[in-house]
Amino acid sequence: MELAPVDWIIIAAYLLMSLGIGLYYKNQASKSLSDFFLGGRKLPWYIAGISMVATTFAADTPLWVTEKVAQHGVSGNWLWWNMLIGGMLTTFFFAKLWRRAEIVTELEFVEIRYSGKPASFLRGFKSVYMGIFLNAIVIGWVNAALASILKVFFDIPDNQLIYYIAAAMLIVAFYATLSGLKGVAITDTVQFFIAMAGCIILAIVVLNTDKVGGISGLKAQLPAWRFDFFPKINSGEAVENIGTYSVTIGAFLTFSLVQWWASWYPGAEPGGGGYIAQRMMSAKDEKNAVFATLFFQIAHYCLRPWPWIIVGLCALVLYPDLPIEESGQGFVMAMKDYLPAGLKGLLLVAFLSAYMSTISTQLNWGASYLTNDLYKRFLKKTKEETEEEEQKDYVKKARLFTVLIMLVSLLATTQIKSIDSAATFLIECGAGLGLVLILRWYWWRINAWSEITASLAPFIGYSIANYGLELAYPVNFLFTVSFSTIAWLIATFVSAPTNREVLENFYRKVRPNGAWKPFQHKNEEKEAMLPLFICWASSIVMVYACLFFIGDLIFLNFEKAIFEAAIMVISLIILRIQLKKTRIFDI
């Protein structure tokens, strides 16, 4: 398919703008590691928060949502909507602690919290595992999604797609290596608004085509179950075929009570981690870190899904013969078939924005591990140099590591079919690690051996549950969590505690709540935990009410929308009152 000149002008203008932002922030990023990887710790909450949202808005996300809508209707989105519970836990219990720690990377936390050779091993191993291996898998997924978009849109042969992907990554790597996190975050902000505007415009255009006929026409042509917001709970086997998303009672209870805190997965780590932690650490102060994360949860769950869902539902009417395994392509086909010149370019820019925001973050985040936690900690040779020379050397290495990750990720992209199954296995084998990542902030007895054991035990538990006992979900998942928890508890109590001086310094610096009695002074005032728990609960209710309020407005269910609006307002009032009882507003 050929684009009109106006489409190419829009695309070229967007790419030039992205490169211009990179050049503008080049000098600021070159000052130090903190400037390159954390934007000098000066990001306001709205920039840090939007950057989080933009990063999770990858090129593959609308296609995945379209596929879930084709399979289970609106209710299929509960596969990711359930993660809000853990996200809000991070907002109120961990965001301020990450900012207070004043570290450059998530992995630097390991050696301010633990001590000895186990801590050094854990930090070094994770820097390579997460910085290169896991990072390459995530980038490979996103590259594969962009490849499928380019293939459908431009009819590019399979054997040529990798060259187009390489060109896109080169552009991203160029501005990411120049500008560091500050430039990436500013670019993310622009990219987010472009991507959201593009998806909203596409939803409006396809909804008002003659074949669809607006919301009333859409509802008339699709079965009612397509518009169900909630999954069905049953006492038998979970339904995997076409129909309202259906789970057993056991699976539902596992989703709602266990999985959100027990499992580790990239981008939704219990207690925060990865690029989410990086944005919290880059905020101006603790209050901005909390508000950035709160904004992320609201925008991520309330604002982003509905344009994708609308396009996904319309695609079922526009392309009724599209096989379920290819249903995600309905989103791209709607772009190709129904957008006029100019809007096609805008939607392509929207997908490029989503792609570039994710890739630039992954490159910057991965390079931070390799620079700060591998090179600086283990590989750099001691020599006489000024502080300025030393920081410039780190920034230079950061740029080289960014290019290295790009090259490894391109290789991973060519092997994405085999990597996808490996990645699924790795994520499923994170069951049980989450509790350690939470408790390491709130219980002094957690040590490096606890985290090492909790990282390895799930692989054993998963293998026993799935291949030895041949258990099905959720029993296999609960078995893995139990096995891992018992294993790391044993490791914790049979190994020596973290060095007391390290724990003392950590406690004085971070000032965490929880079980830190050996390090508390007699008259030390502790922050009340009850208001934080109420903030957590009320914010979850508020976001879900807002999510369903927007959906019911779109689908013209006004009575439900009024009820949901009332719940949303009441929850917001409770949240506001309880926030004032915390120390967040005291900063």
Average pLDDT of every residue of the chain: 87
* 292 domain-assigned: yes
Split at pLDDT 50, 70, 90, the class of 241 is low
* Three-class DSSP category at 357: helix
Split at pLDDT 50, 70, 90, the class of 321 is confident
Q: Please state, in angstroms and rounded to a whole number, the distance separating the CA atoms of residues 450 and 558.
A: 51
Q: What is the pLDDT of residues 183-204, one digit of tens each?
A: 888 888 888 888 888 899 999 9
Q: Is the pLDDT of residue 238 over 60?
A: no
587: DSSP letter: -
How many structural domains is the chain composed of? 3
Q: Verify that 268 and 256 share a domain, yes or no.
A: yes
CATH number at residue 226: 1.20.1730.10
Q: Verify that 389 and 451 share a domain, yes or no.
A: no
Alpha helices by DSSP H, listed for 107-229, are 108-113, 116-128, 135-154, 161-207, 214-221
Q: Verify that 52 and 67 share a domain, yes or no.
A: yes
Q: Verify that 459 and 576 share a domain, yes or no.
A: no
Side chain identity at residue 80, one-letter code = W
Q: Is the pLDDT of residue 426 over 70?
A: no
Q: Verify that 446 and 339 share a domain, yes or no.
A: no
Q: Verify that 481 and 581 share a domain, yes or no.
A: no
- The tokens for 326 are 């290819």
Q: Verify that 503 and 544 share a domain, yes or no.
A: no
* 520 domain-assigned: no
Q: What is the pLDDT of residues 73-126, one digit of tens each?
A: 999 898 889 889 988 999 999 999 999 999 999 999 999 999 999 999 999 999
Q: Verify that 327 and 468 share a domain, yes or no.
A: no
Q: Verify that 332 and 403 share a domain, yes or no.
A: yes
Side chain identity at residue 452, one-letter code = I
Q: Is the pLDDT of residue 587 over 60?
A: no
Q: What is the pLDDT of residues 503-516, one digit of tens each?
A: 999 999 999 988 99
Q: Percent of the chain beyond pLDDT 90?
A: 44
Higher pLDDT, 513 or 449: 449
* 35 domain-assigned: yes
* 307 domain-assigned: yes
Q: What is the pLDDT of residues 19-46, one digit of tens each?
A: 888 788 877 777 788 888 888 889 999 9
Split at pLDDT 50, 70, 90, the class of 431 is confident
Provide the domain limits for residue 539.
527-587
* 519 domain-assigned: no
Q: Verify that 236 and 257 share a domain, yes or no.
A: yes
User: Mean pLDDT over residues 239-247, rounded?
Assistant: 69
Domain stop point among 402, 428, 454:
428
* 133 domain-assigned: yes
Q: Verify that 488 and 423 share a domain, yes or no.
A: no
* 546 domain-assigned: yes
Q: Verify that 423 and 441 share a domain, yes or no.
A: no
Q: Is the pLDDT of residue 381 over 50?
A: yes
Q: Is the pLDDT of residue 534 over 80?
A: yes
* Sole residue written with tokens 């000895």: 116
Domain stop point among 428, 456, 478:
428
Domain stop point among 456, 479, 512:
512
Alpha helices by DSSP H, listed for 25-114, are 26-29, 33-38, 45-56, 61-72, 78-81, 84-93, 95-101, 108-113
Q: How many CB atoms lie within 10 A of CB 458?
A: 28
Q: CA angle, corner 296, sides to 295 and 298, nearest 5?
A: 65
* 348 domain-assigned: yes
pTM listed for this prediction = 0.90
